[in-house]
Every structure is written in C-alpha cells, then in structure tokens.
Amino acid sequence: MKARAFSYFRAATIEQALDAHALVGDDARFIAGGQSLVPALSLRLQAPRLLIDITHIGELRGVRREGGFLRIGALTRHCEMLSEPLIAEFAPLLQAAAPFVAHPAIRNRGTFGGSVALADPASEFPAMTLALDAEIEIAGPSGSRRIKADDFFIDLFETALQPGELITAIYVPLFKADQRFAFDEMARRRGDYALVGCGMLATCAGDRINDIRISFFSVGNTPTRVKGAEATLIGSSLNSERIAAAQAALEGDLAPPENDEVPPAMRLHLARVLLGRLLGRLGESA
C-alpha cells in the first residue's frame, strides 16, 4: 500500500522544525531515519498532512563529551553506535546493543533519537537509556529541558514527549573504570525484535556490587527496570546464591502481558534465564 498524500518540508534549524510543527499541529510528523515512520505511513496506520524532515539540522548531529556526560545527538545513526570511538569508550553498553537493532541497512538510516522518541517496548536503545541512567534533552515551543530516562517512558508508545517537541540529544553518564556492563537478547531470528532482552550497568568495588541498573525490553508496555532484582544484588558480591535471588525477584518486577505467541510464563522464564546468563558474564568480566 502507498502512503496518503502529504507535503514535505526540510527544516534547516530546530527553530524551523518547531515552528512548522506548531503551525500545523497534530497533522504534522517529524521524520528522522524514517525506518519506523515510513512503514507506518505505507500501512496507513498514520496519515499526516506534513512531514518535517529533521535530518538536515546540524545541531542534532554529533557525539561529544560534555561535563560528566557523553552527549549523543538525536540524529546519531544506529550504525554510528558501532563505529564511533567515543561511544566505544564512554557508552560501551550502547555499542554492545547496536548489532541487535534490526539489520545493517536499517542501521544505516535509523537514528538514536527516533528510536527513543518512538519508545517501542521491544526496542534495544530505549531500554538501554534506563540502564545507563541517561537524560533526554527535549526542545519545544516553550524552550528546552532535560528529563531522566526513568521519567520518560510512560506507557505503550507513550513518553514524556509532548506533541510538537523534538528530542535534540541524549546524555549518557561517562563509563568509568569501576563499572561493568552486559547485554544480550533472545530472538527467533537474527535482526527480529527480541522475545526478551536485557542490558545492565554495574558499579563495583572488587567483587562487590555497589550499584546496578538492569533494564529489560520486550517484557511489557514499556522498557522496564527490575528494581527488585537490582536490590537483591546491591551491596553483595556476585555468587550463585545472589544470582538465584535476583532471578526469583523478577516474578515481582515483571508482569508480561497475555500474548498468543509467547505466554507470560514463558517470557518470565526466558527473562530469568537471560538474567542468570548476563549476571554470570558480569562476574567474569572483573
């Protein structure tokens, strides 16, 4: 099927993009990589009157250090997560997740900002912003603000982003020498959305875990931090007993929805297996 007719405007600045959206309102959509929006328009799930192309806005590009953060521009493509040295050094969890996002050609176009804005609960990057305690920078008609990932994801495809607001960058706290990370997912085929996926970032003193943030995707309506499991691990060292306790805690942390393909009990089981595997790897990466 083909998209309904729309007009196209290529914005040169953030201001132009915001102004155009403000004028047209609900009937306007920003387009970044288009790797989710174009299929949605082809299927006529959406039929905007105006597409505002944001990919030529220089201010949304680039990856650089800023204070204790890595500032990752919204237009950073998935493929750059794999090739950009600053990401490898200061946000290695994102680099580890990137190969699991779609297929190479989709990674050549899809953007980090677009993935976070869409907030697909089966997507890798939105969940990783939670594990990383990242902050999302948003520009809107009334100015710019920064919001913690913890406060950003609200419900199924629903975020703190108001209509007409633009994600300009994502700020990730710089990876430190006393930190460790792990990432993996289970999917039926390579490149498919995961049945269950998980990423984690721990701050350690020797074998002791001083802090850990664990985030799952494909387990419910939003990317989900498992705070019960985190609490069983903080303050102790990683041994098989603690890992089992964390796995058991998932029962209280996750409530996978009814689904014909993957029943909730199976998803919970897969989540436990994945958590055990990743905590094991975290222990080995000392």
Ligand X SMILES: Cc1cc2nc3c(=O)[nH]c(=O)nc-3n(C[C@H](O)[C@H](O)[C@H](O)COP(=O)(O)OP(=O)(O)OC[C@H]3O[C@@H](n4cnc5c(N)ncnc54)[C@H](O)[C@@H]3O)c2cc1C
Choice from 79, 160, 174, 231 touching another protein (CB under 8 A): 79
Of 25, 190, 224, 272, give the one whose Cα is nearest residue 119.
Answer: 224
- The yes or no reply on residue 117 touching ligand X (CB under 6 A) is yes
> Alpha-carbon distance 145 to 165, whole Å?
10
Q: 18, 81, 94, 101: which one contacts ligand X (CB under 6 A)?
A: 101
Contact status: 184 vs ligand X (CB under 6 A): no
- Nearest-approach distance from CB 194 to another protein, in angstroms: 14
CA–CA separation, 207 and 162 (whole Å):
43
| 235 Ramachandran zone, left/alpha/beta (phi>0; psi -120 to 50) | left
Q: In the structure encoding, which two tokens stand for residue 229, read together?
A: 């499991």
Give the span between the Cα atoms of 102 and 193, in whole angstroms. Answer: 7
Task: State in angstroms the smallest separation of the CB of 5 from ligand X.
Answer: 18
At 166, the amino acid letter reads L
Count residues near another protein (CB under 8 A).
44
Which of 43, 154, 234, 255 binds another protein (CB under 8 A)? It is 43
Q: How far is the CB of 35 from ligand X (least distance, A)?
A: 3
How many angstroms separate the CA atoms of 271 and 95, rounded?
22
Interaction between residue 72 and ligand X (CB under 6 A): no
Instruction: Scan residues 186-215 and list those touching another protein (CB under 8 A).
Output: 189-191
Contacting residues toward ligand X, per CB under 6 A: 29-37, 39, 74, 101-102, 106, 110-111, 113-115, 117-118, 120, 123-125, 166-167, 193
